[in-house]
Structure 1
Amino acid sequence: QKSGGADGQAQASVAAARAALAASRQQLDVLNTQISEATAEVAAAKADLDTARLDLGFTEIRSPIDGIVGNRLAQVGTYVSPGSYLLTIVPASGLWVDANFKEDQLRAMADGQAATVYADIAPDQPLKGHVTSLGPATGAIFSVIPPQNATGNFTKIVQRVPVRIAIDADQAGKVALRPGLSTVVTVDTGSH
């Protein structure tokens, strides 16, 4: 009978071990499920972090050029759509003046000729520059309502052509030029 009791005890131990193994496997399955859920939560949190970083990047507007804000329409906190007009940047370098010369003044004028710009803001401080381009047509041609001489109108109207004068780089900080300021420009047609 001792062997029967030992046999029963061994079977009970095996059954208990099998039950413990089954419980451990169930617990392992639960833990694996929790690990999978936690991994998914970490991935979701990383995605949220990436989205937040991207959104933060959209809260700043950076200009591709150095300059001064000239006309700001948007304020801090304003929601805007892509392509919205927000502000105007006046370049800090690469300044130029568009001078409208009479057609009879263009005869000897060409790209590259030296020019002197006198700004009304500082008339005693002339700026050196050079001609970069002559307009392809008179300013009147591109106006919203171009002036047309009516039939029978024999009055000759002198036309003006826009000439772009680039301010030389070493002159840029000499006078605080701003868009729309009045200037007087002379071009040395003997240079070039």
Structure 2
Amino acid sequence: AVVGRDSLAAAVENARAAVRLAQIDLANTRIVAPRAGRLGEVGVRQGQYVTAGTQLMGLVPDVVWVTANMKETQMRNIRVGQPVTLTVDALGGQTLRGRVERIAPAAGSEFSVIRPDNATGNFTKVAQRIPVRIRIDPGQEAAQRLAPGMSVVAKVDTAG
């Protein structure tokens, strides 16, 4: 019995290691979203094998905002915190209220993968677009129906 004791202790440790490995494998079968939200396009099915970096689905966060691409000529008096009125085409022209939350540090073209080369020599001035993030005020029923890609008209109250 004394001779077989060490081999039995090794077998117990092997069994414990196998249980830990099975627990890790089981934990890897559960994928948790990085934040709360609604599912958009789902591109994965139950039982499907996936690898790291595979896009499984689109997640639309519960926090609602609008990115208004304002012309640079409209940016003169726009400041963070100013009230905004939004008219949403897809909601029958309903209006929503919000506030300017953030102004991008550069024009949208500066962050594009392929930058436009406007130096064509024709001296035509092209007004750039500056992304302005507008946070929707809470408590508006129509805001729940707002979805990514909808067209809106944003009017910033620069006096406010």
Same fold (TM over 0.5): yes
Q: Tell me, yes or no, if structure 1 residue 59 matches structure 2 residue 29.
A: yes
Q: Which residue of 1 aligns with 2:14?
A: 44
**Do the aligned partners of 2:96 and 2:142 also contact (CA within 8 Å) in 1?**
no
- 5 Å matches for 1:4-153? 31-92=1-62, 94-143=63-112, 144-151=114-121, 153=122
Q: 2:152 aligns with which of 183, 186, 192?
A: 183
TM-score, length-normalised on structure 2? Answer: 0.83
* 2-structure distance, mates of 1:172, 1:43: 59
Task: Name which one, 1 or 2, has greater alpha-carbon Rg.
Answer: 1
Q: State percent identity of aligned pairs.
A: 39
* 2-structure distance, mates of 1:172, 1:56: 41
The one-letter code matched in structure 1 to 2:7 is E
Deviating beyond 6 angstroms after TM superposition, the runs of 4 or more aligned structure 1 residues are: none
- Structure with greater proportional strand content: 2
* Structure 1 residue 172 displacement after superposition: 7.3
Q: How many residues align?
A: 159
What's the C-alpha RMSD, in Å, of the aligned pairs? 2.3
Structure 2: stretches of 5+ with no match in the other structure: none
TM-score, length-normalised on structure 1? Answer: 0.71
**Do the aligned partners of 2:64 and 2:143 also contact (CA within 8 Å) in 1?**
no
Structure 1: stretches of 5+ with no match in the other structure: 1-30
Q: 2:140 aligns with which of 159, 166, 171?
A: 171
Give deviations 1:20-58, integer Å, cap 9, x for gaps. xxxxxxxxxxx2234433333222222111111110110
- Structure with greater proportional helix content: 1
**Do the aligned partners of 1:130 and 1:166 also contact (CA within 8 Å) in 2?**
yes
* 1-structure distance, mates of 2:111, 2:23: 46
